[in-house]
Amino acid sequence: MKIARFHYDHETHFGVVDGVAVRVLEGDPMRDGIVETGVTLELSDVDLIAPVAPSKVVCIGMNFAEHAAEMHHDGPATPLIFLKPPTAVVGDGDTIVIPPLPGRIVHEGELAVVIGRRAHRVAEADWRDVVFGYTIANDVSARDVMFADGQWARAKGYDTFCPIGPWIETEFDPFERHEITTTVDGEVRRRGFTSDMTHKVSEIIAFVSDAFTLFPGDIICTGTPAGLGGFTDGQTVSITIDGIGTLTNPARNRDDRV
Ligand code: MG
């Protein structure tokens, strides 16, 4: 089942995406379950927004061996956690705004876990109990700022640096071999498979929830596969995960970038 969140008639709703239609839900499916209103809209008539408004976005760094190698790193023995602020989150179709920073702005196409219930110190065997579904994230990163700052909060935390969407797929197995492909203006830049993560989603949920209490709607980005290259003003970044869909965002310079 694909669950989207959208603006329609000046209100925010959740809905079940069914082909070119969306069946409107009552309330928040993470709180209220799947309760249909009986109203069906055309998908093209609604404005999709980020499928959740997370209290926090937790990210896992260097979780694919080939990507760690291209970053000149062996890959961490335990999941490497960092955070992106919720103010960085935008939805499918929204613009990634590039501030006046030195160096490249890099796309990181990633599988994102959507938490469905309050989760604190979850046992690895119980990881499925706290997952609502999965979406796609772009962990946008100012690479040179990461190295210059010595930590990643600013480089990965600018407004619009966390596109997520287009919707949440509730029937998806991250242990299966689902391809993750990132393109810029249609050219493939990164490619990998969910089954190749170093630290699996079960281990990640146990590890992260040992440190942070997770709330419904929180997001965990599971790391990017290998592939280099960035994007600039006027280009469009698309990330496809088979079994979920495609997240597409245009990029433009902020008005103070010369
Ligand atoms: Mg990343």
More confident residue, 129 or 74: 129
Coil, helix or strand at residue 115: strand
pLDDT, tens digit, for every residue of 246-258?
A: 999 999 999 998 7
From the CA of 71, how far away is ligand 1's center (Å)? 12
Coil, helix or strand at residue 34: coil
Q: What is the pLDDT of residue 177?
A: 97
From the CA of 89, how far away is ligand 1's center (Å)? 14
From the CA of 67, how far away is ligand 1's center (Å)? 10
From the CA of 244, how far away is ligand 1's center (Å)? 19
Instruction: Indicate if 57-253 has the same CATH topology as 2-48.
Output: no
- In this structure, CATH architecture of domain 57-253: Alpha-Beta Complex (3.90)
pLDDT, tens digit, for every residue of 143-173?
A: 999 999 999 999 999 999 999 999 999 999 9
Q: Are 243 and 172 in contact (CB under 8 A)?
A: yes
Tell me the C-alpha distance between 148 and 146, whole Å: 6
pLDDT, tens digit, for every residue of 174-210?
A: 999 999 999 999 999 999 999 999 999 999 999 999 9
Averaged pLDDT score across all residues of the chain: 96
From the CA of 200, how far away is ligand 1's center (Å)? 15
Q: Do the bridges between strand 57-61 and strand 219-221 make them parallel or antiparallel, or are there none, so unpaired?
A: parallel
On whether the 2-48 domain is CATH 1.10.20, my answer is no
DSSP H helical segments within the chain, as ranges? 29-32, 65-70, 143-149, 201-211
Cis preceding-peptide flag for 166 (omega within 30 of 0): yes
pLDDT, tens digit, for every residue of 10-39?
A: 999 999 999 999 999 999 999 999 999 999
Task: Name beta bridge partners: 25.
Answer: 36
Domain ranges of the chain: 2-48, 57-253
Identify which of 2, 53, 25 has the alpha carbon closest to the alpha carbon of residue 167. 2
Predicted model pTM: 0.96
